Chain A
């Protein structure tokens, strides 16, 4: 199953919407860098039964706490990021 990594804000790019268009059952979503602004975007609320993660360092740096916004998003550290990449294949990055 694919790990999708979104690194741009859904408020300024198509990265998240392009990603979600190619999303398949069982895929996981990881938000990093400005991609964590998706925590404030409605597109995420429409994703049911999907594993959604955000990089804790990047969300905290932007004042976004996933637990306060949605209990379905898990904030992870770098070691967990690495582990997610071992669990999924391929890993697709969305940055436009």
Chain B
């Protein structure tokens, strides 16, 4: 079955981003297809390549990247949410005259339309949310 995930949670703010990664792995292990994973609101922090968690904590960004490489996943980050929170690719950093880019390799910036496209083209959407 074709799934998409929406991730609203930052790696450090709750367990939800880790749950999303776990669910994505379980989906692939069970032979399902992941059409897209869309990172929205604080979820854009999953794509922040310069976050440096302590070595005894999980590096979710690195684990998303590894899963992306292994399964050619479409990891899409909401561009408006990302700009607000300081997650920029090279092009956006130059356009907005910011000192550096930090979008992790394997993630792409795109508009909210990519979430509606994911809903339209997937049989299931599972949302992982929130702060606290």
A residues with a Cβ closer than 8 A to B are 5, 7-8, 12-13, 32-34, 58, 78-79, 81-83, 85-86, 89-93, 95-96
- Contacting residue for A78 out of B16, B22, B126, CB 8 A: B22
Across-interface contacts of B126 in A (CB, < 8 A) = 5, 85, 91, 93
Interface residues of B toward A: which range? 20 to 34
**Could you tell me if A7 and B19 are in contact, using CB atoms closer than 8 angstroms?**
yes
**Could you tell me if A78 and B23 are in contact, using CB atoms closer than 8 angstroms?**
yes
Across-interface contacts of A89 in B (CB, < 8 A) = 123-124
- Of the listed stretches B25-33, B44-52, B98-106, B109-117, chain A binds B25-33
Closest partner residue, chain B, to A8 (CB atom): B132
Question: B1-37 toward A: CB 8 Å interface, digit per residue (1/0)?
Answer: 1010000110000111001001101110110100000
Q: Is the interface of B mostly helix, strand, loop or mixed?
A: mixed
- Contacting residue for B23 out of A58, A81, A92, A96, CB 8 A: A81
Closest partner residue, chain A, to B22 (CB atom): A78
Closest partner residue, chain B, to A15 (CB atom): B130
Measured between alpha carbons, how far is A92 from B124 in the docked complex, in Å? 10
**Could you tell me if A8 and B130 are in contact, using CB atoms closer than 8 angstroms?**
yes
Measured between alpha carbons, how far is A6 from B98 in the docked complex, in Å? 39
B30 CB to closest chain A CB (Å) equals: 5
Q: Is the interface of A mostly helix, strand, loop or mixed?
A: mixed
**Is B68's CB within 8 Å of the partner chain A?**
no
A11 CB to closest chain B CB (Å) equals: 12
Across-interface contacts of B14 in A (CB, < 8 A) = 7, 33
Closest partner residue, chain A, to B14 (CB atom): A33
Across-interface contacts of B29 in A (CB, < 8 A) = 78-79
Across-interface contacts of A79 in B (CB, < 8 A) = 26, 29-30
**Could you tell me if A33 and B124 are in contact, using CB atoms closer than 8 angstroms?**
no
Measured between alpha carbons, how far is A75 from B129 in the docked complex, in Å? 22
Closest partner residue, chain A, to B1 (CB atom): A86
Closest partner residue, chain A, to B129 (CB atom): A95
**Is B39's CB within 8 Å of the partner chain A?**
no
B93 CB to closest chain A CB (Å) equals: 31
